[in-house]
Chain A
């Protein structure tokens, strides 16, 4: 019996793979479309419209010497950590605007920073391809840089980092196209997540009640939902037309929002496995850098590259307010842990607290 000669299987050629991929993508869209029987804003028609919003800058945090790239709130609802292009990471008391700690990183473009759940440490990283953890000392004179712990190592820039439910583990995303989960104490990689075809720009952890998943967004226009224990991508969404700069879980954990360079924000329902809302206007042509929800999920705040913040009614799909104040791109935006205010950071070197 002649042996089957399969030097390189036909199904392995680039074109065949592409065709198979296209066919499956079409099938996936068909399956999703079957259950797309109604739009979210249609179901939300009978809900009372939101009233007039008066949101103003209540605090301006000045001190960074260059573009603010990232910020995060402490669970105590008053402290904030921010990082900048000039390599500085600053911890602020947002009530008083005082700077409590400042660290100078050995690299510029510190694109990611995060506050530990205990409030006793911050993590940050950027062009150094690493994520480092700095314990925060009560002694203001102590040199924080001396206690620095290098935790994550990627082969390209660190774009985002986030502690899991404890100070012991950190999730990171990188320009190398992967995400990873690390043990802070040992610096060991516990799990890696492969699936994006280009730089991963953002990530967000699911609210703890909903289990061990997180969502990531990247330059491949995809948003992926991952199982943290297995490393498997559970669901992915590719409806944006450009890089996804920000992803944020809905408070219930059943959906997430994304902001993209295509000037839109979108809402994806995880149980229906599809996009269910687009937040856009013809007059908005600049990319969205960051998004976050208000406490109940009724409002979506988006920071844009045209220096504004747009506030959207999540259910009705309409814009309810536009906030001016920053003098350059808004690069980062987070609502405070108790929902009383939100903070925005900008390329104009400042952070603003709005309420």
Chain B
């Protein structure tokens, strides 16, 4: 538990972790960014909070309307 560890133990833990991470395989942002964008674009047409939902279809829009069970 971090609270029960001495400063030295915490530093050693961080150091060991850094040694692992320096060797992590990485991909260039110019490759991953377009993929993130493509993922979003593929789904945003169906994203209710992005495109909006007609009042009669969204159960949250009008209070006191039909209750969907």
In angstroms, Cα B60 to Cα A342, docked, is: 10
Partner of A36, one of B5, B29, B34: B29
**What 1/0 mask marks residues of chain A from 1 to 43 whose CB sits below 8 Å from any chain B CB?**
0000000000010100110110011011001100111111001
Spot the interface stretch: A62-70, A119-127, A189-197, A240-248: A189-197
Q: Do B19 and A95 touch (CB < 8 A)?
A: no
Instruction: Tell me how far the C-beta of A63 lies from the nearest C-beta in chain B, rounded to whole angstroms.
Output: 17
B34 to chain A: closest residue by CB: A43
Instruction: Tell me how far the C-beta of A130 lies from the nearest C-beta in chain B, rounded to whole angstroms.
Output: 15
Q: Does A84 contact B (CB under 8 A)?
A: no
Q: Say yes or no: A236-B59 contact (C-beta < 8 A), given A272-B28, A296-B40, A339-B48.
A: no
Residues of chain B contacted by A239 (CB below 8 angstroms) = none
Q: Do A296 and B46 touch (CB < 8 A)?
A: yes
Q: Does A299 contact B (CB under 8 A)?
A: yes
Instruction: Tell me how far the C-beta of B66 lies from the nearest C-beta in chain A, rounded to whole angstroms.
Output: 10
**What 1/0 mask marks residues of chain B from 3 to 28 whose CB sits below 8 Å from any chain A CB?**
11101101111110111111010111
Q: Does A103 contact B (CB under 8 A)?
A: no
In angstroms, Cα B4 to Cα A341, docked, is: 42
Q: Do A177 and B29 touch (CB < 8 A)?
A: no
A52 to chain B: closest residue by CB: B52
Q: Do A340 and B46 touch (CB < 8 A)?
A: no
Which residues of chain A (182-223) have a CB below 8 Å from chain B?
Answer: 194-199, 220
B8 to chain A: closest residue by CB: A14
* Tally of contact residues, B, Cβ under 8 A: 52
Q: Do B47 and A24 touch (CB < 8 A)?
A: no
Q: Does A318 contact B (CB under 8 A)?
A: no
Q: Say yes or no: A273-B24 contact (C-beta < 8 A), given A36-B29, A178-B2.
A: yes
By size class, the interface of chain A is: 35 or more
Q: Does A111 contact B (CB under 8 A)?
A: no
Q: Say yes or no: A177-B2 contact (C-beta < 8 A), given A17-B8, A47-B41, A353-B60.
A: yes
Spot the interface stretch: A132-140, A250-258, A280-288, A325-333: A250-258
Q: Do B27 and A272 touch (CB < 8 A)?
A: yes
Q: Do A178 and B1 touch (CB < 8 A)?
A: yes
Residues of chain A contacted by B7 (CB below 8 angstroms) = 14
Known: A32-B26, A95-B60, A197-B10. 6 other contacts (CB 8 A): A20-B15, A25-B18, A47-B41, A194-B1, A272-B32, A341-B48
Q: Do A12 and B59 touch (CB < 8 A)?
A: no
In angstroms, Cα B53 to Cα A338, docked, is: 12
In angstroms, Cα B18 to Cα A59, docked, is: 47
Q: Say yes or no: A271-B46 contact (C-beta < 8 A), given A176-B3, A252-B36, A314-B40.
A: no
**Contact sample, A vs B, 29 pairs, CB 8 Å cutoff:** A17-B8, A20-B15, A24-B22, A25-B18, A28-B21, A37-B28, A37-B29, A38-B30, A39-B33, A43-B33, A44-B33, A54-B52, A155-B4, A156-B3, A194-B13, A251-B43, A254-B36, A269-B33, A272-B27, A272-B29, A274-B26, A276-B29, A294-B50, A295-B43, A296-B39, A296-B44, A296-B50, A299-B50, A339-B47
